[in-house]
A = this chain, B = another copy of it.
Amino acid sequence: MGATKTGLFSKKQNELAAMAKALAHPARIAILQVLVKTNACVCGSLVDELGLAQATISQHLKELKQVGLIQGTIEGTSVCYCINPKAWLQYKEFFAMFFKELPENKTCC
């Protein structure tokens, strides 16, 4: 027990859940917002911006990288992170799609 039973659900459902999970932490939300706002890249200054330890930030960055939402390129000793525009758009569309179909006829509850 304890592990999510992914086998019970469709690929899409697991995918959407994984996308949501990537956003399911305020630090990752904050990181993405900083990356969007600064437009250009932000390197390790995220550690200063947010109040978390370097190891913790690095871990969150890794997760965001794993789901493809951000990219990182080495720039000397530091690493330059930025939003992956393609993935960003896909996320936007996925969530829009999911919430699109509004239950109009509220016949119950």
Query: What is A's interface to B at a CB cutoff of 8 Å?
Result: 4-6, 8-10, 13-14, 16-18, 20-30, 33, 35-36, 39-41, 50-52, 71-73, 80-83, 85, 88-89, 91-92, 95-96, 98-103, 105-109
Count of chain copies: 2
The reply to whether B39 and A107 contact each other, CB–CB distance below 8 Å, is yes
Nearest B residue (CB) for A17: B26
From B40, B95, B108, contact of A40 by CB (8 A): B108
Contacts A9-B27, A17-B23, A21-B25 known; 19 new A-B pairs at CB < 8 A: A4-B25, A4-B27, A8-B27, A8-B52, A9-B29, A9-B50, A10-B26, A10-B30, A14-B26, A20-B20, A20-B29, A24-B24, A40-B107, A41-B108, A73-B108, A82-B103, A95-B96, A95-B99, A96-B96
